[in-house]
């Protein structure tokens, strides 16, 4: 299961990618790059946790957030078989957001803030920048490189903004609003099968959460769009806690965000239960974070991660997508803790 069949992993997520079924090329499944139009977005005020604003993660959610809809309705997962927690990354897992969402929003923010015209993250460059976890960190990394290479115009912009940290913070806030506008306009549909697996978990009473390096407001908007993209799934936005952005001091590949989710949701003794938590990720750094937290990990390859190496991380399963009904690559039943998937 750990040996990639690259042609299958790069396939369009229709039809079964195993058992000799023919697949469609990567180029066929990739949507055209979104046109980077000039967007105007009204401000949105949402109180989120960060390292410096004094809001504790546990204060972000009411106690009912730690219980799935299934539990409130009296549906209980079979003890010792279903995952203790089912944790999802956001970008590339819930929705294919990176290339035609975040990248476009970053470039629009650069234009609106009057940054040098040479600053444009094309598809290839952004793919490389994704090796850096976190949007603010990504900008600081790129801007620093440009300055070290003699970009005087960028150096002046950074100085006038009060430094890299201030510039990245300001740009990221604007980028988030642009990204939310795109999500709310339904420009990015859920990845195949993600609604199915969420619905299965809700019905079985398996607790879920989102663990992402992206801004909490953007993650919440993406999750809301996924939950409302079809028939009700038996779970609401309030039922799925979100651990995102600067809620932890270190971002993926550090395991901090997954460890925080386990600690907040499982309480005392959480460390002994991480082995029974299942993470769905799409990237190498995300998989590293999950495995470093001692959790099981399924990778659903996305546009930017289909060529990343995973063999040395010890992920449990690599697939092209979760798969819609009738085309399932993995189901909640497959995640049985005593099942063959983990052997």
Residue 92 backbone zone (phi > 0: left; psi -120 to 50: alpha; other: beta): left
Beta bridge partners of 243: 211
Q: Name, in order, each residue with C-beta under 8 angstroms of 158's C-beta and a sequence gap of 6 or more.
A: 143, 147, 164, 167
Q: How many CA atoms lie within 13 A of 15 on its CB side?
A: 15
Active site amino acids: 89, 91
Q: Name, in order, each residue with C-beta under 8 angstroms of 103's C-beta and a sequence gap of 6 or more.
A: 121, 123, 126
Cis peptide before 253 (omega within 30 of 0): yes
């Amino acid at each position: 299961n750990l040996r990639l069949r690259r042609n299958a992993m790069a396939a369009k997520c229709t039809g079964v990618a195993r058992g000799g079924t023919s697949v469609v090329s990567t180029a066929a499944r990739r949507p055209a790059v979104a046109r980077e139009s000039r967007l105007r977005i009204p401000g949105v005020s949402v109180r989120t946790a960060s390292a410096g604003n004094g809001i504790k993660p546990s204060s972000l959610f009411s106690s009912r957030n730690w219980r799935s809809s299934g539990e409130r309705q009296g549906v209980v997962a079979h003890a010792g078989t279903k995952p203790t927690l089912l944790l999802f990354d956001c970008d590339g897992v819930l929705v294919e957001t990176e290339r035609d969402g975040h990248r476009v929003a970053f470039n629009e923010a650069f234009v609106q803030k009057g940054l040098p015209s040479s600053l444009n993250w094309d598809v290839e460059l952004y793919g490389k920048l994704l090796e850096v976890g976190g949007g603010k960190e990504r900008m600081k990394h790129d801007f620093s490189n440009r300055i070290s290479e003699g970009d005087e115009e960028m150096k002046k912009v950074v100085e006038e903004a009060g430094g890299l940290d201030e510039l990245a913070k300001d740009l990221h806030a604007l980028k988030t609003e642009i990204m939310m506008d795109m999500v709310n306009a339904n420009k990015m549909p859920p990845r195949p099968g993600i609604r199915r697996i969420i619905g299965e978990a809700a019905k079985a009473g398996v607790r879920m959460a989102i663990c992402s390096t992206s801004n909490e407001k953007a993650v919440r908007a993406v999750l809301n769009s996924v939950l409302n993209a079809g028939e009700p799934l038996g779970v609401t936005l309030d039922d799925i806690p979100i651990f995102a952005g600067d809620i932890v001091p270190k971002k993926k590949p550090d395991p901090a965000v997954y460890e925080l989710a386990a600690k907040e949701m499982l309480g005392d003794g959480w460390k002994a239960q991480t082995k029974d938590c299942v993470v769905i990720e799409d990237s190498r750094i995300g998989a590293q974070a999950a495995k470093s937290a001692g959790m099981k990990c399924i990778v659903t390859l996305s546009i930017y991660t289909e060529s990343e190496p995973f063999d040395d991380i010890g992920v449990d399963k690599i697939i092209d997508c979760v798969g819609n009904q009738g085309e399932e690559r993995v189901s909640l039943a497959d995640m049985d803790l005593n099942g063959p998937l983990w052997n």
